[in-house]
Structure 1
Amino acid sequence: MTVTAHATISPRPGTPGVHPHGLPRPGRTLVMGVVNVTPDSFSDGGLSFAADAAVAHGLALLEQGADIVDVGGESTRPGAARPPVEEELRRVLPVVRELAAAGATVSVDTMRAEVAARALDAGARLINDVSGGLADPAMLPLAARAGTPYVLMHWRGHSAGMQGRAVYDHVVTDVLDELRLRIDAALEAGMGPDRLIIDPGLGFAKTPDHNWELLGRLGDVVALGHPVLVGASRKSFLGGLLADRTTGEPRPARLRDAATAAVSVLAAAQGVWCLRVHDVASTADAVRVTARWGVEATAARSPLSRVR
């Protein structure tokens, strides 16, 4: 196995330290808006399942400030069943094609190389693979040949059984070690280091405590030296934290956006490259506030700021 050097970086608070080739560089953490073309999403219950509705939703996210729109045709909520590849293609391709034609930077959220390849042909500019190349052995070679930016997430198995694999000696150390193995696999497949993005996989084979510990140590993920994508939006660990004080019922997914925006601030302050969210407007505001705060925090630490 090739030994990969992983650089340690120290980004200015509120700004990502490294950027993938060919994607927007606005000088702040990016915002990726979610377009679920599925009938069983945990977050919206299939509101954008029809292609026309999904395209309209993607365009609305762009208006709200999304830098990237992420189109997916397979639900990855715990326990979800996988659609056939033909069905995933039917869901995804028209939406990718229309949004790309409208000028959007489109990401395709898929674990299948065939879907990724067809989506790239339709205009997608980024592959977001929650399996990190483990679900389909053809994925890493495809991404390498295409030369496209590629999101590699920490993953231990498909949705149907992933929560049974949420066992770690030390979650941060184990996730970092497993990400390093997948980074090495991607580089050995021929992927350019400047195309590779990593994701700690919040909620995927993780308990709520695991998610919170990873969020508190995002700087360690950033220090691997690749752009970092974080997807905490509306996830169940937020619902549990905000559970009704009387009944103990978790807060419903669509009422978790304020908490998501708070996580967005904390993640942006640790130098992540991009945040994947359902409610774009609140996180678009959050990352701009964090970037502006970063300017002042950096200035306050400068020796010149103490000169009278």
Structure 2
Amino acid sequence: MFFSFKSFHVSMHWQTSRFQIDLSRPRVMGIVNATPDSFSDGGRHATTADAMRHCESLLAQGADILDIGGESTRPGSPAVSLDEELSRVLPLVRSAVGLGVPLSIDTYKPEVMRAVLDLGADIINDIWALRQPGAIAVVAGHPACGVCLMHMHRDPQTMQAAPMEGDVVSQVLSFLEQCALDLHALGVEKSRIVLDCGIGFGKTVEQNFALLACQPLLSRAGYPWLAGWSRKSSLGAVTQWPVSERMVPSVAAALLAVERGARIVRVHDVRETVAALQVWQASQIPPPSL
């Protein structure tokens, strides 16, 4: 079952610190890894100058949102100290807030959240869904920042050693809805919240594709959804292609996610994803009467 043209245009937006992002069309979030050990492009943008050039390149390719991360969360990756993450992220955020686009920060540490929001960042993108001590208070205490709550089974060091069991779709949906309700209880408006089912975070290949197949069901929860399939290992399992060659399957997965209801796609390959979505959008016209 595919997401219909009519239902995709249900009015929806994402309220963030500086921007109200219109989600009546799909939005592309470009990935900026300020890390030496990301699974995809670690070390390529490790200096602030290199990372800023990458930000500007992604915007020129059509990115709507930039997502900056200072800690790799690939399976088995070691945790980064607070001081190290701050040293990677803060100089870049200071520069990137001047680009005039929504700025998302991929972090689970409340100290980093507070620091980047003080600098003017717009969105907190948290793989732990604000479950780390103090994290939910930072977001709830901010007057307008957006937040993306992601589902993760276990933690990055152990999540693939013992993936989820049972009905993954209902478990993911139930967990994220409860996280959103916890935010509502603290006064955070629904319009500030986006959900992410966490492709590859403690799930088998089959479970990841089940979540993609059931994206229309997830979307009925009434929140915008973000899909993060870019270069993931599940795409490699299907194609047998290495990380460096997964652009085409990544674009295909992003397009399928949008077709089935995702409002935002988080990607490395912005230019190609934007082009695919432009073709998809051009086809979204009501069918002729027969």
Q: TM-score scaled by structure 1? A: 0.88
Q: CA deviation at 1:18?
A: 2.3
List aligned pairs for 1:1-308, cutoff 5 A: 12=6, 18-21=12-15, 22-25=19-22, 27-134=24-131, 136-146=132-142, 147-243=144-240, 251-294=241-284, 296=285, 299-300=286-287, 305-306=288-289
The code of the aligned residue for 2:259 comes to A
- For 1:61 and 1:289, the matched residues in 2 are separated by 19
Q: TM-score scaled by structure 2? A: 0.93
List alignment gaps of at least 5 residues for structure 2: none
SS of the aligned residue for 2:22 comes to coil
- For 2:7 and 2:61, the matched residues in 1 are separated by 24
Quote the residue 1:248 is aligned against: none
CA contact (8 A) 1:128 1:152 kept: yes
CA contact (8 A) 1:14 1:287 kept: no
CA contact (8 A) 1:230 1:275 kept: yes
User: Alpha-carbon deviations, 1:29-70, whole Å to 9, x = none?
Assistant: 000000001110000132111111111111100000000000
- For 2:23 and 2:167, the matched residues in 1 are separated by 35
Percent identity, please.
Answer: 37
User: Alpha-carbon deviations, 1:255-290, whole Å to 9, x = none?
Assistant: 101111111111111121100000100111122222
- For 1:88 and 1:26, the matched residues in 2 are separated by 31
Q: CA deviation at 1:102?
A: 2.3
SS of the aligned residue for 1:152 comes to strand
Aligned length: 284
- For 1:16 and 1:281, the matched residues in 2 are separated by 26
- For 2:25 and 2:268, the matched residues in 1 are separated by 19
SS of the aligned residue for 1:241 comes to helix
Q: Which moved more, 1:284-293 or 1:268-277?
A: 284-293
Residue 13 and residue 46 in structure 1: after superposition, are their counterparts in 2 closer, same or farther (change >3 A)? farther
CA contact (8 A) 1:129 1:151 kept: yes
CA contact (8 A) 1:107 1:125 kept: yes
SS of the aligned residue for 1:54 comes to helix
* RMSD (Å), alpha carbons: 1.8
- For 1:188 and 1:10, the matched residues in 2 are separated by 32
CA contact (8 A) 2:123 2:146 kept: yes
CA contact (8 A) 2:44 2:50 kept: yes
